[in-house]
Amino acid sequence: MRIPKIQEKAITTDVLVIGGGGAGLRAAIEAKREDVDVVLISESRAGYANSTATSIGWATYLRKEQKEGFFSRVVEEGGYLSNQRLVKVFIDDVVSRMPELRDLGVDLELRHAKLEFPQVNEDQCIPRGHGEVRGMGLTKPLRDKAQNIGVKILDRTIVTRLLTSEKKVVGATAIDLEKGDFLTVSAKSIILATGGAASIYLRSNNPRGIAGDGFVLAYQAGAELVDMEFVIFCVPIPQTEKKLGPDLFKKRMKQATKELKRKDERWDFFTGFPPEAHYFLGGVKIDEECKTILDNLYAAGEVTGGLFGASRLGGSALADIIVFGTRAGSSAAQNAKNKKQIDLNLNEVRKEKERLQDMLQERENEIFPDFLQGEIRAIMWNYAAIARTEKALNRGLEKLEKLREQASLLQAQNLKQLKEAVKAINMLDLAQIVIRAALERTESRGAHWRLDYPSPDNTNWLKNVIIHKVAGKMRVAKNPVIMTQLRSPDAPRRIGTGWSGYISI
């Protein structure tokens, strides 16, 4: 086997944006407007093959008079776990930020329509063009705008590690998947906008590469993750009920639930109409200016947590990436203007290069990335998907630990496999984080369904689960929810994903 040799190349910039979807592109544009140097790194071609580009493209839009009522809807749908400071700035900004997309070249339609689902706002912004996949009507103009104003875009490049110095993030390492260069990027501000992680599950409606790299980059650097147990699954209950008939549907539902409680293993009810992992509600913990607890590190979009709590309204995800992408770009640019470039830790850089080069070495008992990724997806689907129990979650953890023993044997024969090997290790880390969070929350709320704790517990669980790496080990903590306006739910909320069908228990 011919082993690719990694050549080193250095890049210096004011702001580094990681992620080429809607949040990353909007952040890059806003940062560049502040007259700073901006580099955007995207695993695929920026503006293509990400969740924004492949979405149906409609997003929440508000008129000023709707703001107060919408605040309540967001908080209630999220099971009162939303950081209400984030909700406040989201609603304040969405009024102006969505129509503003027209100024960035998006052919935008503002529409008011009475919709079937109460979990979807009647006012919508819809990018026109590109048929039913309207997301490209948003991302392509944003990419064009970013390039036209001078954002340097590095397509088909994967970030492998954030580089730190005294709790400050000062840059990143990356691999150019076409040229084979090992990139060291020195930056005064870094914005994570890498999207979610639905593809760590066996069934997902996200592009396959959306597997949580940003969560792990942040976690390994020392940032906090919040509410990682909340994962939305698109559950086709109406189609399933129609196929079976209401009486048989209810009977099968009860049988499946009892069987799952007895076996403590896998969910096997939706035969013919399987659910699909769709959206991560939890993520990197940020404040209103998109800052993390680490100096110089910002985040926006689905990679963040705290805004939506336990569930979200339909259309709100695309509004989120625009509102907080803009905020992240502005905050990161202002930070860069006030900071000096910090030298990279060359020892960190050397270790990361050696880790990547090691995966390209021939081994006697090798395993390949597609095998490891497949095993992780199966474990997450069987033991930590739509319905969960303590016994099943712990069994999933045990299986992941056994996989970790094999991960040291990962081998890549080319740069494409090297990318997948990096992603496989990230998926392994993230799978353990999700399960640990799911074990911690001993109740059911929103998109987190514990069959052994089937009801919301407002007395003990109006709290966020925080996961943080301390001294090389995972620390799990519970923090009180930040409540500024709505203090307490009137009644326990239903369980499920509000805009794609509920499972009522």
pTM equals 0.91
| Sequence-separated (6 or more) residues with CB below 8 Å from residue 354 | none
pLDDT given at position 354: 94
> Residue 288 burial by CB count (10 A; 0-12/13-18/19+): exposed, middle or buried?
middle
Residue 391 has, within 13 A of its CA and on its CB side, a CA count of 9
Q: Residue 58 in contact with residue 318, Cβ under 8 Å?
A: yes
Domain count, the chain: 1
Asked if residue 59 belongs to a domain, the reply is yes
Token look-up 């081994």 returns: 363
Q: What share of the chain is helix, strand, coil (3-state, %, to 5)?
A: 40, 20, 40
User: 197 — phi, psi (to 5°)?
Assistant: -155, 25
| Helix (H), strand (E), coil (C) string for 184-243 | EEEEEEEEECCCCCHHHCCCECCCCCCCCHHHHHHHHHCCCEECCCCEEEECCHHHHHHH
Asked if residue 214 belongs to a domain, the reply is yes
Asked if residue 354 belongs to a domain, the reply is no
> What one-letter code names the amino acid at 357?
Q
How distant, in Å, are the alpha carbons of 13, 179, 393 from that of 385? 40, 38, 10
Range of the domain at 46: 7-228+281-337
> What one-letter code names the amino acid at 159?
V
What dihedral do alpha carbons 75, 77, 81, 82 form, nearest 10°?
Answer: -50
Asked if residue 442 belongs to a domain, the reply is no
Asked if residue 119 belongs to a domain, the reply is yes
CA distance 6 to 3: 9
Asked if residue 18 belongs to a domain, the reply is yes
What one-character DSSP code corresponds to residue 118? T
Asked if residue 344 belongs to a domain, the reply is no
Q: Residue 243 in contact with residue 274, Cβ under 8 Å?
A: no
Asked if residue 302 belongs to a domain, the reply is yes
| Domain harbouring 304, CATH code | 3.50.50.60
pLDDT of the chain along its 505 residues, tens only?
A: 445 566 789 999 999 999 999 999 999 999 999 999 999 999 999 999 899 888 876 788 888 888 888 999 899 989 999 999 999 999 999 999 999 999 999 988 877 665 555 555 666 777 776 555 578 899 999 999 999 999 999 999 999 999 999 889 999 999 999 999 999 999 999 999 999 999 999 989 899 899 999 999 999 999 999 999 999 988 765 555 556 555 665 666 566 556 555 554 554 555 555 678 999 999 999 999 999 999 999 999 999 999 999 999 888 999 999 999 999 999 999 999 999 999 999 999 999 999 999 999 887 778 899 999 999 999 999 999 988 999 999 999 999 999 998 898 899 999 999 999 999 999 999 999 999 999 999 999 989 988 888 888 999 999 999 999 999 999 999 999 999 998 877 655 555 544 344 343 3
| Sequence-separated (6 or more) residues with CB below 8 Å from residue 338 | none
pLDDT given at position 114: 57
How distant, in Å, are the alpha carbons of 28, 233, 357, 421 from that of 277? 28, 4, 33, 22
Question: Where do the DSSP E strands lie in 254-329?
Answer: 276-280, 283-285, 297-299, 304-305
Beta-ladder partners of 231? 280
